[in-house]
Structure 1
């Protein structure tokens, strides 16, 4: 039986942690850890080199695409408004709730110290500096030199400039706007191809990094990974439940009927971990719930392309968890920077399963908050479980928002559901 890439990476994580933990006190452990840290660090650097151009490409594509959608008519415009409100709320939710979860269910001190020791060999010098004080923070939002901002990894500055640049593109006439939009779309696609190549080597990189972590953390590493999966998944479950609230309170669907019609899209979401693959089932569910095709055929494809409700909350949660893991305090300004990046960059994130979307989504937020992104190379191996809840929440919220938009679309309500 052929073993899929997800299971190969997960297997590399388990083997690396186990062998590293067993070899922690052996005479040959230290030189092997140094070699493993070098290999893992090279793999991590290969991932990091795509982050800056990817942010630019995805953000420009998302803003220009969203602007074009708004021009198409009222349904698209109302859909985009709903997307913006929910994505911002999701980012704020993650910024508020994840620290509370970590206060109530903290990572054991010994496990945190051991994990930090295990990652000590990975070079973190390229990680963004801590977020500055209030006056410096306000001044730093507008980059005096965007090339320097990109070179130094100042993601918040880069996002501000890129967003302004993208909005400026939307004001250009069509014959000038389309080539620019196509260029940045191609740029983002090329970066995704490179990331795909790098992730092909993920079992090697994860095995090396996991060995180093296991050697430093011992058996505590397994408990810490489980702790992470439970806390991050809980954020996705919360957004999933919020989708049922939107369906009942705004779309005015009986909860039992909505839950019944969502069984098929959710089954596809669990099996594929892709909103795109779930689109046909979502369209069928929307039809059964009484959504007019004129609304569903606009809102759902837009949602699959631009809207991932769980993304900001769970991505913020990952960045905050890593800060907690590494013993870093996060100021309110750091959280504000993270919320701004999480809410805006989600518009351009491609609807892909697991590892690829994890890298492209979380790294910009972590960099904006001054959080090291080196631990992401370990966490990518256990993204399978949280990604199930990401996709479940996204698919369910997509249909719920489609009903909310359709309820008032063109001044006609969707058909009542018994």
Structure 2
């Protein structure tokens, strides 16, 4: 019941200056605050703004080709897993159920949370160079017809993310129907494209301390001390959505896996500790296998489900990525109707499958960017928010690891019942 080796691909490893980027964010905010009331601030911002804009555009140019490649590889990998047997199909169905619930949680709760704890007025500076202008909400007919692009090249040029996502998802499924030689040739192309884009985005993110410093300087000059408050508010609100998914993991293990809440909590604690310290689901895999043993799950189930979950399953991604998009939408005054939220959920779910095995900073840009584009939300604030992603990423990893073990318990219980 293992996934065919021919359909597994390894992406290049990129080391990112996360600590330096966070330090540059703080340094830019502090310097901008100190100089905000001086005569030199306009000259300094006039120099730093183009630097920040260039870095932001370099970041944006990698999104479409990288997302398309990772989406194809991720969906092919998921399809191959679903064909590995009945247990795999149950796992895939459960994964999609959890991902849909994850997106719905944020679509319902995030607006309520922002209504109860509004975004600080000082957060407007985070918008940076986001374009102004009144948003025109599409009608239902316009929304439905926009799902399919008559010209995929034009859709890419216009960064029409939703039809692009649908096209490449359909393309990936079609690949699985091709003869082995043709399928592997095309998959090799997308694998090489993804790795090439990862190298480029690695170069761009290596310069993140410079770009973030330049952008933060302008934000602090506009917002003053409120920039720190705004970023703190953002971190707490977005992390709260991941916290809800974490709580859902306990309910999944209890209601669907038949495991007592206290038993599950004690058994999964060691996995959560590793996730907290490493911020890596892959590094937490041995601890997850140990937690599964403590829960009494069969080795055959745990050794199949957990590595596959690490590869293709990010339970918190739809919730937290959509939360970022909704936060920026409220910040920019973008009205969100049910159709736009539905589009955001759909893209968030599909993209979460394609953002596998990526460092937090890269997956943040690759995952949230397409969601924001599909919802008509400016992506400029992402250039600053990526600098603090290391903090919400802790909640992402802990939530993902906990849900992985919970899902393994459900698959094990279903398999036991099926064999009985």
Aligning the two structures, in what range does the TM-score lie when normalised by the shorter sequence? over 0.9
Distance in 1 of aligned mates of 2:376 and 2:55: 21
Matches within 5 A, 1:218-297: 218-297=224-303
Check if 1:28 corresponds to 2:34.
no
Q: Could you list the structure 1 runs, at least 4 aligned residues long, displaced by more than 4 angstroms after superposition.
A: none
Match of 1:308 in 2: 314
Match of 1:194 in 2: 200
CA RMSD in angstroms, aligned pairs only: 1.8
Q: TM-score, normalised by structure 2?
A: 0.92
1:390 corresponds to which of 377, 387, 396: 396
Q: In the TM superposition, what is the alpha-carbon distance from 1:18 to its structure 2 partner? A: 1.3
- Give 3-state SS (helix, strand or coil) of 1:39's partner: helix
Aligned residues: 404
- Give 3-state SS (helix, strand or coil) of 1:275's partner: coil
Q: In the TM superposition, what is the alpha-carbon distance from 1:19 to its structure 2 partner? A: 1.1
Q: In the TM superposition, what is the alpha-carbon distance from 1:16 to its structure 2 partner? A: 0.6
- Give 3-state SS (helix, strand or coil) of 2:396's partner: helix
Verify the 8 A CA contact 1:274 1:352 in the aligned structure 2. Answer: no
Q: In the TM superposition, what is the alpha-carbon distance from 1:171 to its structure 2 partner? A: 1.4
- Give 3-state SS (helix, strand or coil) of 1:141's partner: coil
Deviates more, 1:206-215 or 1:295-304: 295-304
* Cα-to-partner distance string for 1:276-333 (whole Å, 9 max, x where unaligned): 1111111121122121122112211111111100000000000010111222222222
- Give 3-state SS (helix, strand or coil) of 2:408's partner: helix
Verify the 8 A CA contact 2:355 2:363 in the aligned structure 1. Answer: yes
Deviates more, 1:53-62 or 1:405-414: 405-414
Gaps of 5+ in 1: none
Distance in 1 of aligned mates of 2:94 and 2:193: 28
Check if 1:87 corresponds to 2:93.
no
Match of 1:45 in 2: 57
Gaps of 5+ in 2: 1-15
2:167 corresponds to which of 150, 161, 170: 161
- Give 3-state SS (helix, strand or coil) of 1:277's partner: coil
Match of 2:8 in 1: none
Match of 2:383 in 1: 377
Verify the 8 A CA contact 2:36 2:221 in the aligned structure 1. Answer: yes
Match of 2:212 in 1: 206
Verify the 8 A CA contact 1:262 1:285 in the aligned structure 2. Answer: yes
Distance in 1 of aligned mates of 2:208 and 2:124: 25
Verify the 8 A CA contact 2:131 2:378 in the aligned structure 1. Answer: yes
Deviates more, 1:162-171 or 1:348-357: 348-357
Check if 1:69 corresponds to 2:69.
no
Match of 2:154 in 1: 148
Verify the 8 A CA contact 2:103 2:345 in the aligned structure 1. Answer: yes
Distance in 1 of aligned mates of 2:55 and 2:398: 30
Verify the 8 A CA contact 2:33 2:225 in the aligned structure 1. Answer: yes
| Distance change (3 Å), C-alpha of 1:410 and 1:253 | closer
Match of 2:109 in 1: 97
Check if 1:15 corresponds to 2:27.
yes
Distance in 2 of aligned mates of 1:88 and 1:250: 17
Verify the 8 A CA contact 1:236 1:310 in the aligned structure 2. Answer: yes
- Give 3-state SS (helix, strand or coil) of 1:137's partner: helix
Distance in 2 of aligned mates of 1:310 and 1:33: 37
Q: In the TM superposition, what is the alpha-carbon distance from 1:188 to its structure 2 partner? A: 1.9
